[in-house]
Each structure stands twice: as structure tokens, then as C-alpha cells.
Structure 1
């Protein structure tokens, strides 16, 4: 999830996932590139490309020149040139693939943006770098408290120290312009270092902080997405999505970047459909498009004044009706085409596998009912004889049980 502090533990061990160099969630290796040209040797007489790609905190990457011809490999910690002093970063890519990346991002080798590498980082450089990184979190808490006390409408999202701990860059987001001149004075007096304020967008803030999206996976901007294209509500309309801001908005509060992923496929599919604002002219009346289904290739039309009765048509049928109206030979009604559509859809189902329906297990089996066993009952004559039979021990008749009914004992009432 963009855990920039994972790879900053002491002795080269990560702090967060404790995975010792490889992050299970790919947060430590954010925006990594597999060098598929590493095992290939260069042709004879060709020199190796002298630029490398170096990663800093939260996936920030830049290209640097290897003017000293150092033997570098992926994962090496190096000290590079900065605006003032030096910075410390990790080598993420070397060789000919860097040339491809620079061409892709339109970065020229001779441009002023490409600085040079000083040396491989010594243990002293790494210790200063680690000590500076440990100060970032408490500084962020204190900086937010100062901004709240000054009543500035801004949010400080992250702090990044330079490798030599000579400068701290404060990343913040704000909807309006903020006058932070007094804030910088207090920061410099509080933290005793040079301060640089850099405003970023809400999408960049989400990319730096990371998180889990509604799909259950890590945010695309914090793992692999590098360019942030503008997303409009028309992308949701083309994909027949409900314009619910709670579902369409991401963690940054803006429209989700994934709305653009399948937009081109939807636009290609919509080319086969007639325009939705085109009305169908028939002899019965004028029909207006109410709904379309891109996957089925169907459209639903309703006559003006009969908005509750929808008629389903295919794209070919709708085009046929439109062309007939242009030729001034309008069709009689939409019901003719709707009936044909129903007849085409009705296809006999063949039970190939033997599974008739999904609820076949819920229905009882149609088999012969089981015969219930009749319990044998003793005849009542046997009970009467049992009461009249004398006791085998005494030879006297068994007395009858007295009844509590008054009808049976009329002598008690007398």
C-alpha cells in the first residue's frame, strides 16, 4: 500500500512487512520494472548506457548519469546530486532498458533534469538518511498542529527529507490558494532545517498514502499507475452506470481512474448503435429511446404519450425503421418488429447434460408414495373381558373404577 518506510529499516531489513527485501503486498517494490534485458550481452564495440533509474520515497523516480562509470546493480544505495547537497536513493533499473524508459517518458539524456551520481552510499550516508527518515512521522504530526493553530485551510499529507537531512519537503493539498509565509517561518524555527512547500493534487496524495479500494485490492495509483488522466462523468454515462458520487468516487474524492479502463471498448460498441436522441417515426406515432443494453445489443423505445409501454428492438431493426422514415416509407408500428424479436428469441432448450433447472434439488422426487404401516390395535372385546375376568390370585372379580360424573352416581345427589 505504498509503504515507503518498509525499505528504510536498519541493516537493510524492512520495517513494515518484515519480509526481508521483498514485500508481499508490493508496497516496498512500488512501480518496479522487470529488467528482461539483464541476461543479454551487448554487441561487440557497443558501450553500456550510462544512465540509471533511481527510486526515492513513495515511488518517486528520476534518471541520473553514471559519469564515474560505477558498477551498479538493482538494489544498490547511491548518493546522487541534488539542488543543494546530495540525496540518497535506491537503484531500480540499469542498462538498455533505461534508454527505453527515458524515451517513453520523453526525457533527453543531455537535458538539465538528468543529474549525476556521486558515489555508492557509505555507511555514514545511510545512517544520516535513516535518522532523517525516522524524524518524518513526528514532524508531520507537529506540522499539522501548527497549521491548525494558524487556521490555514490546507492538509499536510507527507514529509520527505533529503538524503543529507539538509532540507525537508512538505507535501500538502488545498482547494484554494494558501498564504503559508508565516507557516514556513514557524516550521524553520521549530524543526531547524530548510523548508520547501510543494502542493500536490488529491490523486497524488492518495498515491503517496496508499490504501484499499472498493474492489478489495490496493489502489492503482499507489502500485502501478503513473499517469493521471482526467476522468469525467461522461465515462460513467457511456458505460450505463448510475451517477452515484459515493460509488463512483475513490479514496481521493475524485472519480475513479478505473472508469477509463474499459471506456474505449464501450465507445467502439456504441458505434453500432443509432443515436439515442434519434426518434423513430412510424404510422402509429413517434417513439423515443428509453434505454439501451450494450451487451445484448438491444434498445427499448416507447411511444410519446405511452411511456409505460416499452418495445425492445435490435440495432438492425432500429436502423431499418430510421432508414424507412428517411425514405418517406414509415413502418406501421413497432409491435411488428417486437413480435419478430420474441419469435427469434424463443429457442427450444435441449437437455444435453441432464440438468433441467437449478432448483431441481429443491423439488421432491416424483416416486411412488411409501405405504404406511398400520399399527395393530387390540380389539375392545379383549379389554371388556380383561375387566370381567377374576383375579387369578384371589379369584374375585376386579372392581370397576369409580367415575366422578354425577350422572353415573345419582345416589350422591339424593
Structure 2
């Protein structure tokens, strides 16, 4: 037995499936998932199974007839999605219908939707009964799942990470933006889904390592070469430098290796300021 990583159509997430034979990457296969038989694509090399693992199963490679049926069901799902959207508008239902997906045997249809409040789905179910005999499953999804399923362009100009390679949605906090010295502008820190950018987490660990060698923001420091003392106003982790503000004015891009705390400076330099206390300073 082998374990094959496969990917379904609307998500980059890889699912591990048991298979009696290996298949080349890119092969369309029929798998038995949680919802029923579906078509998926092999996206990696086979590996030995873990005795403690829980897997779905690869049933067979998809035949030409099954691929045609799969595409027909996809088109049918798209038609139903637009029909349900029209009916929801007519009934003034505050719901966004994202996707309508059939299993390969057409025994189950899953409607992915988002709504800010609890809504009555009965009218939509009744509408579906007129067009399919499949069992109906409504699945509520969040903004990130919407972006994952629909696919959008990010601020970088490329397709968003959630629909191309992210396997899970890790927590993202505003602290990550602070540590990377980014301007706290919600419009620039938010992705197409309206939530904080997933990519803020990618380099956060590296930034934390770089910040260890820099003084804290608002700390009072002195430059060993010029003797200038002032308050740290900005950090540049990638360059290893900081900006300080002295009584004479701002001084830019001083190497952190040439700075020392004002309390360690020769007599006459200002001492440790209140802003340097751990409760009020931040990176």
C-alpha cells in the first residue's frame, strides 16, 4: 500500500490517500473522501503509510467517461450557484453563495456559503429540490475560505497564498506587523479577504532573531563614535541600524553595533528614560 498526496479542485490543501498502486504526479484519480467519490489530482510522490494515520482511499484512476461526467457536474454546479444567487436576491437573503459542488455519483451536493447572521435556508433548499435529487449539505465558510475557493490577486500582484499553497490558516496578529516595522495601515495589512495578510507570518521568526540585536524603540542610546545621545525612533532590522532623535535633531541609520544604552554612557549624557521601561516600550 502507498500513501499519495492529492489535491481537490478548489483548494491547495493536500490530502493523504491510501492507494494500492503508485500514480505519476498530475494523474486524475477517483478517491473516496468524507463526502463521497470525487475526482482529485495526484500532487506528490508516494510514501509508506503510517500505522496510526487516518486516510481516505484512491479507488482508481479516472476514466475518460468519469472526467467528462466530472466536468458536466462542475458546469451544473456553476449554473445552480447563479440560480441560487438570483433567488437569494429576490428573497433579500443576506447570504453569499460561493460554490456548489457535486460528488461524482451525484448523491450529495455541497453549497458553500457565507453570512454575517443566521439565515433561513429553507427557500434555497426547496429551489434545489426542483433541479436535483442529490442530498443537500450547506457548509458555512469564513472570509479566508472564500478567498481560497474563489482565488484572488494579492497586493504583490500574484494569486493569493490561500488558493495556491497554504495548507492551513495559521493565526496572524498585528504584533507580527509591528515586529516587521510595517505601517499599521489596515488597508495595506489586509488581504483580499479583509483579514490580516497570511504572509505576515512567513518571515516573522527571522525578524524576531534580527530584533534581538537591536535596542528597543523609545530606548535612550548613545553613539560611541560621535557621542550623540537620543531616543530610538525607528528600527531597521534587515540593515541592523536604527534612527534616533537627539536634541540637535534626527540622526538616521546608525549601526546598532555602535550604540550603547545611555545609562552606560559617560557622565553628562541623559540617563534611562521612562519610555524605556518594559511596560511602555515596544519593538
* TM bracket (short chain): 0.7 to 0.9
Give the TM-score normalised by structure 2: 0.76
Higher strand share: 2
Change (3 A) 1:259 1:71: closer
Change (3 A) 1:73 1:318: closer
**Distance of 1:79 and 1:311 partners within structure 2:** 64
Q: Does 1:52 align with 2:36?
A: no
**Distance of 1:242 and 1:198 partners within structure 2:** 36
Change (3 A) 1:318 1:118: closer
Where structure 2 has 5 or more consecutive residues not aligned to the other structure, the ranges are: 223-228, 272-283
**Distance of 1:302 and 1:93 partners within structure 2:** 57
SS of equivalent to 1:187: helix
**Match of 2:214?**
273
Asked whether the equivalents of residues 290 and 302 of structure 1 are also in contact (C-alpha less than 8 Å), the reply is no
Q: Does 1:309 align with 2:237?
A: no
**Distance of 1:130 and 1:221 partners within structure 2:** 24
Change (3 A) 1:188 1:321: same
**Distance of 1:84 and 1:256 partners within structure 2:** 31
Which has the bigger relative contact order, CA under 8 A and spacing at least 6? 2
1:80 to 21, 27, 31: 31
**Distance of 1:78 and 1:311 partners within structure 2:** 63
Q: Does 1:63 align with 2:16?
A: yes
Deviation by residue 1:232-259 (Cα, 9 ceiling, x = unmatched): 2222222222222222222111122222
SS of equivalent to 2:193: coil
1:119 is displaced (CA, Å) by 3.3
Deviation by residue 1:338-376 (Cα, 9 ceiling, x = unmatched): xxxxxxxxxxxxxxxxxxxxxxxxxxxxxxxxxxxxxxx
Where structure 1 has 5 or more consecutive residues not aligned to the other structure, the ranges are: 1-48, 103-107, 335-414
Change (3 A) 1:147 1:132: same
Aligned residues: 262
Change (3 A) 1:314 1:320: farther
1:287 is displaced (CA, Å) by 5.3
Cα RMSD, aligned residues only: 3.2
**Match of 2:281?**
none
**Match of 2:264?**
323
Structure index of larger Rg: 1
**Distance of 2:10 and 2:56 partners within structure 1:** 20
1:142 is displaced (CA, Å) by 0.9
**Distance of 2:25 and 2:199 partners within structure 1:** 31
1:132 is displaced (CA, Å) by 0.8
Deviation by residue 1:261-316 (Cα, 9 ceiling, x = unmatched): 232232222212222244569xxxx954433333251231345xxxx833566535
Asked whether the equivalents of residues 78 and 88 of structure 1 are also in contact (C-alpha less than 8 Å), the reply is yes
Deviates more, 1:54-63 or 1:272-281: 272-281
Q: Does 1:133 align with 2:74?
A: yes
**Distance of 2:135 and 2:124 partners within structure 1:** 13
**Distance of 1:245 and 1:211 partners within structure 2:** 18
